[in-house]
Amino acid sequence: MKGGMRRVYGARMLMALAMWGCSELAQAQAPFPSRPITIIVPASPGGILDQTSRLVAAELTKLVNQPVLVENKAGAGQIIGMQALARAEPDGHTLVMGSIGPNAANYSIYPKLPYAPADFAAIAHVVSMPNVVLVNPTVKADTLAEFIALAKAKPGGLTLGSSGTATSGHLSAEMLKMRAGIDLVHVPYKGATPALTDLVGGQVQVMVDNLVTALPLIKAGKVKALAVTSGQRIAELPAVPTVAESGFPGFEVVVWVGLLVPSKTPPAVVDTLHTEISRVLAMPQVKKRIADMGGWTTPMTPAQFNGFIRSETEKWAVVVKQAGIKAE
Residue 136 has pLDDT above 60, yes or no: yes
Q: How far is CA 88 from CA 44, 79, 91, in A?
A: 20, 14, 8
206-261, pLDDT tens digit by residue? 999 999 999 999 999 999 999 999 999 999 999 999 999 999 999 999 999 999 99
Among 26-30, 147-151, 230-234, 235-239, the minimum mean pLDDT is found in 26-30
pLDDT at 326: 82
Instruction: Give the per-residue pLDDT at 75.
Output: 87
Identify the pLDDT of residue 322. Answer: 86
Short-list 324, 276, 308, 318, CA closest to 99: 308
Q: What is the mean pLDDT of residues 13-35?
A: 59
Give the pLDDT confidence score for residue 19 in this predicted structure.
Answer: 52
For domain 130-228, give the CATH number.
3.40.190.10
> What is the predicted pLDDT for the residue at 191?
85
* DSSP conformation letters of 181-219: T---EEEE-SSHHHHHHHHHHTSSSEEEEEHHHHHHHHH
What is the average pLDDT value for the chain, to the nearest integer? 91
Q: Is the model's pLDDT at 302 over the cut of 50?
A: yes
Q: Identify the burial level of 288 via C-beta atoms within 10 angstroms of its C-beta, where 0-12 means exposed, 13-18 middle and 19 or more buried.
A: exposed
pLDDT in tens, 97-117: 999 999 999 999 998 999 999
> For 278-301, what is the mean pLDDT?
95
Mean pLDDT of 56-84: 96
Using 50, 70 and 90 to split pLDDT, how confident is the model at 170? very high
Per-residue confidence band for 190, with pLDDT thresholds at 50, 70 and 90 = confident
- Per-domain boundaries in the chain: 37-129+255-323, 130-228
Percentage of the residues of the chain whose pLDDT score is greater than 70: 91
pLDDT given for residue 24 in this prediction: 44
Mean pLDDT throughout 69-92?
Answer: 95
Pairwise CA distance, residues 40 & 62, whole Å: 19
Domain 37-129+255-323: CATH architecture, name and number where available: 3-Layer(aba) Sandwich (3.40)
Q: What is the mean pLDDT of residues 20-41?
A: 72
Q: What does the pLDDT look like over 3-23, one tens digit per residue? A: 555 554 544 555 554 455 444
- Other beta carbons within 10 angstroms of residue 323's beta carbon come to 17
The per-residue pLDDT for 15 is 54
Amino acid letter, residue 175: M
Q: What is the mean pLDDT of residues 156-176?
A: 93
